[in-house]
Amino acid sequence: MAPGRFITLEGGEGAGKSTLARSLADRVEALGLRVSVTREPGGSPKAEAIREAILSGRVKQHGAFVEALMFSAARIDHIDRLIRPALQRGEWVICDRFIDSTRVYQGALGRIDAGLLAELEAVTIDGLMPDLTLILDLDPTIGLARAARRRAPGEGSDRFESETLAFHRTLRQAYLAIAEREPSRCVVLDAAQPPAVLAQAAWTAIRERLPAPQVA
Ligand code: TMP
């Protein structure tokens, strides 16, 4: 059986990750391969419940480390229930956010010690690193405006969308720093491009980075 592939999409708010995930999944399926599209926090019933608690802002009062623990608890369940079983069946998994979101949002912005966060990450993922991480890079003023447009009337911004522009600028730089440190895993894509152009660039990166006989 061909090995499954694990691709994660990362970036700030409104960068177009979920649209890109669907478009890439269509391309993978068109090759006759099975693919699961999923997201973090979430992707399993327990993790979706944790998502609701964090994004409502109820956990914020306990600080960034508790938020990191909760994102990690959600991730452990998501990996156990969905990601590892799918990969073991030889399927592809495209995940909207994963470890780099914790590194950036809780680490770089929540100012949690990088060593402590790295230990938490190691325990959480237990060796399950993404094969490829696509980082969608976008000016946060554009991303936040997009995120505001997609909200339902009367719906407020969530726990992280409501942070300052300075927060979102730091976040962008932190993602770029990860890409610089881990060039063999990460590819930075210009998310200001139209969705179809972005999807083509992402697909080209997948073909280059994950040369598998089945990716024509
Ligand atoms: P979204 O991906 O639906 O936009 O919402 C998830 C939010 O949670 C987003 O603001 C990023 C944040 N987040 C973290 O702070 N740490 C994490 O580990 C993950 C997965 C997400």
The answer as to whether 177 is a domain residue is yes
Q: How many structural domains is the chain composed of?
A: 1
Q: What is the pTM of this model?
A: 0.95
- 41 and 159 in contact (C-beta within 8 Å)? no
Tokens matching residue 213: 């006989």
For a mutational test of ligand 1's pocket, the pick from 83, 101, 138, i.e. the residue with the most ligand atoms closer than 8 A to its C-beta, is: 101
pLDDT tens digits for range 172-216: 999 999 999 999 999 999 999 999 999 999 999 999 999 665 554
CA-nearest residue, atom 10 of ligand 1? 160
| Per-residue confidence (pLDDT) for residue 70, from 0 to 100 | 97
For residues 110 and 65, the answer to whether their CB atoms sit within 8 Å is yes
CA of 2 to the centre of ligand 1 (A): 31
Q: What is the CATH number of the domain that holds 34?
A: 3.40.50.300
Range of the domain at 118: 5-209
Q: Is residue 32 part of a domain?
A: yes
pLDDT at 108: 85
pLDDT tens for residues 53-108? 999 999 999 999 999 999 999 999 999 999 999 999 999 999 999 999 999 999 98
Q: How many angstroms separate the alpha carbon of residue 175 from the centre of ligand 1? A: 13
Examine residue 12 and state whether it is found in any structural domain, yes or no.
yes
Residue closest via CA to ligand 1's atom 16 equals 102
Q: Establish whether residue 175 lines the binding site of ligand 1, counting it when its CB lies within 6 angstroms of any ligand atom.
A: no
> Is there a domain that residue 214 lies in?
no
Closest alpha carbon to 110 in 59, 147, 51: 59
Query: Is the shortest distance between the CB of 41 and ligand 1 below 6 Å?
Result: yes
- Report yes or no on 215 lying in a domain: no
AA letter at 205:
A
Neighbours of 9 (CB within 10 A): 27
Residues 78 and 38 sit within 8 Å (Cβ to Cβ): yes
CB of 36 shorter than 6 A to ligand 1: no
| Residue 216 in domain | no
